[in-house]
Chains A and B, each alone.
Chain A
Amino acid sequence: MSEAFDPQRWRPAPFLPQEDARDPALLFVVAVLSFLACLTALGVIASSRAAQGWTDQLTAEATVIVRARGGETPDAAAARAAEVLAGVPGVSEARALEKEKAYALIEPWIGDVADLDDLPVPRLVAVGLDARKPATAAALGRALKAQELDAVVDDHSVWIEDIRGAAEVVRWIASAILLLIAGAAAAVVAFATRAGIAARKDVVEVLHLTGAEDGQISNLFELRFAGIAAVAGAAGALAAGLLGGALRLVGGGEGITPALPIAWVDLLVVLPCPVLAALVAAVAARITARRLIQRL
């Protein structure tokens, strides 16, 4: 055995024992945190896409409620309004809805009444707007007023604002969750570093007394925990990516539900996870190790 040792073929062994790098508990915790972080990121992207979809849809449309005036019938007023609106710049189409649709809208309030023809039920005109340069609600209102039509224009701006506000809230909540997850990962790594240094006090002490700089010693722990976190981050990202892919497959083009549409490209969001996990671990290990080493 001893004859087999050839100094010329010798390679330096790691200062820290290799078996310490296999820390299943730490791997598991960081992998779970990475998985949750990736799911959160996927959720944010999906909800942002949903919000954008709804906003686009609402921006492209306006609804005009037309009430008949004088001797004009509601249907005639609606038809005239549609004609006027179709001529306004920024309007791609204007269509008076059938009276059945107007009746259906008021049915919840007045019940199933057989004949509503005697009542002055307002009619609706659906207006399609030019996506590039949509007509404003004010322009539509002016055009209708010019033709002495009694109408109210709803350009959905209230809804759009609400959806945008909700999407913003979701983004803030997700950012807070991601920060919390990063903080939890950093705390776990700091704890593991402390335990790692305590378990390898002999190595730290010998290196210190043999003239190692504090940075050289903390680097050992930094690299070790960054490595563990990178592997755990990759595992968590893979699991989240697989789950995201499954949701995309199950839900078809719209994802699992139209409320959370996932696109294949969204799955790329998990890619930076191993690097970010390694960075968070490296910073946490560095700060902890330096603080402990300086007390030697």
Chain B
Amino acid sequence: MSRNAHVAAEDASADEILRFSGVSMRYGRGPEVLSDVSLSLPRGSFHFITGPSGAGKSSLLKLIYLAARPSSGSIRLFGEDVGAAPASILPRMRRRIGVVFQDLLLLDHLSAFDNTALPLRIAGHKPSEYRGDVAELLAWVGLKSRMHALPPTLAGGEKQRLAIARAVVGRPEILLADEPTGNVDHEMALRIYRLFVELNRLGTTVIIATHDQDLVARSARPVLHLDKGRLRPLPPQGPVE
């Protein structure tokens, strides 16, 4: 059973993983890209963020993966007030989040294996602890025969899956994906979606920003709909899985 989006701010609970309270954001002195956004997401939920281009989807994700700060309002992530948290704990919070960036941000000079292992290396794990897991994960996303390959030699879908492997290898508590099916065919989009569902079943909170209305409709997952930087609730559509 899917959970509903808690668009309005609610009382914090033990199950809450993310809360936005009246969050607005602007880049420099530009116009607001997000206005008065309030939401509360329970741990283990699965949400889509939809909206037209420029609606603020990527900016919302940036705020969640701590790549930007709100110009007003407050964000609670993993029970911490992000604005009041000392800068020194932000890296540790980022390690609890896996991100599939819109432009993937793969490192071209590192092999698929090295790219995937990157979050584990940063977290200070020893290679002997994760070699097997990384190989298993790459096999799971269908890149078993491409582990040594450099990203520029990979096809679009392979790159996408590599970015996903890197995002999930550290078993993040939250998985954010920005247009993860933007450059792949329908078949691949469904395969990737099923991968996210599997991760969600294992307990990861999943948030996907997408334009793919067909995927959203098929999934029957709750939707956070953004329009001109404002959050508008949309009920789940289509059959519930």
Binding site for B on A (CB under 8 A): 1-5, 7-8, 10-13, 15, 17, 202-203, 205-207, 209-214, 216
Contacts and interface: CB of A to CB of B under 8 A. Distances in A.
29 contacts: A2-B145, A2-B147, A2-B148, A4-B148, A7-B131, A7-B134, A7-B135, A7-B147, A8-B131, A10-B113, A10-B127, A11-B127, A12-B117, A12-B121, A12-B127, A15-B107, A15-B110, A17-B109, A205-B105, A206-B118, A209-B101, A210-B118, A210-B119, A210-B166, A211-B92, A211-B119, A212-B91, A213-B88, A214-B91
Contact of B148 (A5, A15, A211): A5
User: Interface size bucket, B side?
Assistant: 35 or more
B146 interface: yes
A111 B164 CA distance: 101
Interface of B: 65, 67, 88, 91-95, 99, 101, 105, 107-111, 113-114, 117-119, 121-123, 127, 131-132, 134-135, 145-149, 166
A107 B121 CA distance: 86
Contacts of A2: 145-149
A13 B91 contact: no
B107 A210 contact: no
Contacts, number: 70
B114 A13 contact: yes
Contact of B114 (A12, A209, A211): A12
Contact of A5 (B113, B119, B123): B113
Given A10-B127, A210-B95, A210-B119, 16 more contacts: A2-B145, A2-B149, A5-B113, A5-B148, A10-B131, A12-B117, A12-B127, A13-B109, A17-B109, A203-B107, A206-B105, A209-B99, A209-B105, A211-B92, A211-B95, A216-B122
A206 B67 CA distance: 11
Given A2-B147, A206-B107, A7 B119 contact: no
A211 B107 contact: no
Nearest to A4: B148
Given A10-B127, A12-B114, A209-B65, A202 B107 contact: yes
Contact of A211 (B94, B110, B134): B94
A163 to B, nearest CB: 57
Contact of A210 (B114, B122, B134, B146): B122
A207 to B, nearest CB: 6
A205 B62 CA distance: 13
Task: Return the 4 tightest CB-CB contacts between A and B, nearest first.
Answer: A211-B95, A7-B135, A211-B94, A5-B148
A216 B149 CA distance: 26
Contacts of B105: 202, 205-206, 209
Given A4-B148, A7-B135, A211 B113 contact: no
A293 to B, nearest CB: 11
Contacts of A17: 109
A7 B117 CA distance: 11
A13 B148 contact: no
Contacts of B92: 211
Most buried by A among B93, B101, B107: B107
A211 B145 CA distance: 28
A10 B131 CA distance: 8
A198 B192 CA distance: 33
